[in-house]
Amino acid sequence: MTKTTALRTSIDKASSRSRMLNGQSKPQHGATSVHPLLRLQQCIGNRAVARLIQAQLTDVVQQERGGIKGVQRKDDAPAKSSCGSTSLAGTVGPSDKRLNGSVASVDLDAKAFGNTSKLGADFRFGACKVDKNWRFYLDALVAPIASRVQPETFKINVPNASDSIVTKESYPDIVNDLRPTASGTFSISCGGNKFDDKVTTYSRRKKYWNYQFVVDHEASHRKHWMEMYRNELVNAESNIWAHSLPASEASDAVGAVAKANATLTKHMTDAYQNTCKTYAPKQESREYDDGAPQYQKLVDDIEARARKEKWK
Ligand SMILES: [Zn+2]
């Protein structure tokens, strides 16, 4: 059985951006916030950091595995490929690096509060000969996904109701900026398709914002995208395992992968496209609806303080 690394392919999609079409304000928004691990990398050696990132990713996968359909295979699906490899898709977690080691970049519009990329996975196929056929498997799989959030000073941060920024004079504007009742439609682009997503739980945040809430919002994007993409990648991997080519069609594994590449790659691009169709139509409303209670609680706390301090 030859285990060969062959063609390296990736579905390179631009990092996704959402744009508010007719809302009063623009969506999530900054400057480059450097990932702590990357910052660390500038201080200490690459090797230590690589281990650290690996440890962190493992942790993420374990945390996310709990309620996920994607890691469960159908009962009749094989646990191993014909080449003997176990599933990579079943345990793939978000990575802030590409397969080639480069940093997964995230665009951040000057008016956006934050953004989360949803790059297509980087992958590599392998092949082996079993009896009279070439069989295939995923030899490498990385799902690059990363977020950026504007610096805390992007707007005036209101971390909680008792903060000194909350005063008799400022609180009416703060409450108006944070109350999660604004509406607007986001134009979402994913895999070359556009979706309009109407959000009714938007906070305007013209002058004031809560920085941490945006960090949380982007983290939810990463989590939900990864859950849905993993489901589809597991399916794609099953199809790759099921593929075969007569042994006579190629003289070695590299040649076999080259010959099967278009078919195998289609499974991977389909996985991305299918994820877009599940994720993108409610990309923003899903997260704003989830985040609305934390905004509403902050508003309620501020109004309670205003009554207590007899500001109104
Ligand atoms: Zn968002």
Among 73, 76, 131, 122, which residue's Cα sits nearest to residue 101? 122
| Overall average pLDDT of the 101-111 stretch | 92
Q: What is the CA(46)–ligand 1 centre distance, in A?
A: 32
Record the tokens describing residue 103, joined without a space. 């940093």
Residue with token string 């790659």: 265
Q: What is the CA(28)–ligand 1 centre distance, in A?
A: 6
Q: Which backbone phi and psi does 162 adopt, to 5 degrees?
A: -90, 0
CB 75 within 8 A of CB 95: no
Least confident residue range of 11-25, 27-41, 150-164, 296-310: 27-41
Q: pLDDT (tens digit, 9 = 90+) per residue, 204-238?
A: 999 999 999 999 999 999 999 999 999 999 999 99
| Overall average pLDDT of the 185-210 stretch | 96
- Mean pLDDT of the residues in the chain: 82
Q: What is the CA(145)–ligand 1 centre distance, in A?
A: 14
Q: pLDDT (tens digit, 9 = 90+) per residue, 250-263?
A: 999 999 999 999 99
Q: What is the CA(29)–ligand 1 centre distance, in A?
A: 9
Q: What is the CA(115)–ligand 1 centre distance, in A?
A: 6
Q: What is the CA(300)–ligand 1 centre distance, in A?
A: 23
In the chain, the DSSP E strands lie at 4-10, 18-20, 94-95, 114-116, 122-130, 133-144, 147-149, 156-157, 182-190, 193-202, 208-209, 244-246
Residue 297: DSSP 8-state: H
Confidence class for position 56, pLDDT limits 50, 70, 90: very low
What's the pLDDT at 45? 33
Q: pLDDT (tens digit, 9 = 90+) per residue, 30-43?
A: 333 334 333 333 33
Residue with token string 């508010």: 20
Q: With 90 as the cut, is the pLDDT of residue 180 above it?
A: yes
Least confident residue range of 10-14, 245-249, 267-271: 10-14
What's the pLDDT at 77? 64
Q: Which backbone phi and psi does 246 adopt, to 5 degrees?
A: -55, 140
What's the pLDDT at 19? 53
Confidence class for position 2, pLDDT limits 50, 70, 90: very low
Dihedral over alpha carbons 18, 102, 137, 91 (to 10 degrees): -60
CB 209 within 8 A of CB 155: yes
| Overall average pLDDT of the 264-284 stretch | 97
Q: What is the CA(156)–ligand 1 centre distance, in A?
A: 20
Q: What is the CA(220)–ligand 1 centre distance, in A?
A: 9
| Amino acid type, 209 | W
What's the pLDDT at 23? 37
Q: What is the CA(82)–ligand 1 centre distance, in A?
A: 41
Q: What is the CA(235)–ligand 1 centre distance, in A?
A: 27
Q: What is the CA(112)–ligand 1 centre distance, in A?
A: 9
| Kind and range of the H or E run holding 218 | helix 211-242
Residue 77, classed as helix, strand or coil, is coil
What's the pLDDT at 54? 35
What's the pLDDT at 154? 98
| Overall average pLDDT of the 38-54 stretch | 34
Length of the chain: 312
What's the pLDDT at 118? 87
Q: What is the CA(304)–ligand 1 centre distance, in A?
A: 29
Q: With 60 as the cut, is the pLDDT of residue 290 above it?
A: yes
Q: What is the CA(103)–ligand 1 centre distance, in A?
A: 21
Q: Which backbone phi and psi does 178 adopt, to 5 degrees?
A: -100, -20
What's the pLDDT at 76? 60
Residues with CB under 5 A from ligand 1 (ion): 28, 284, 287
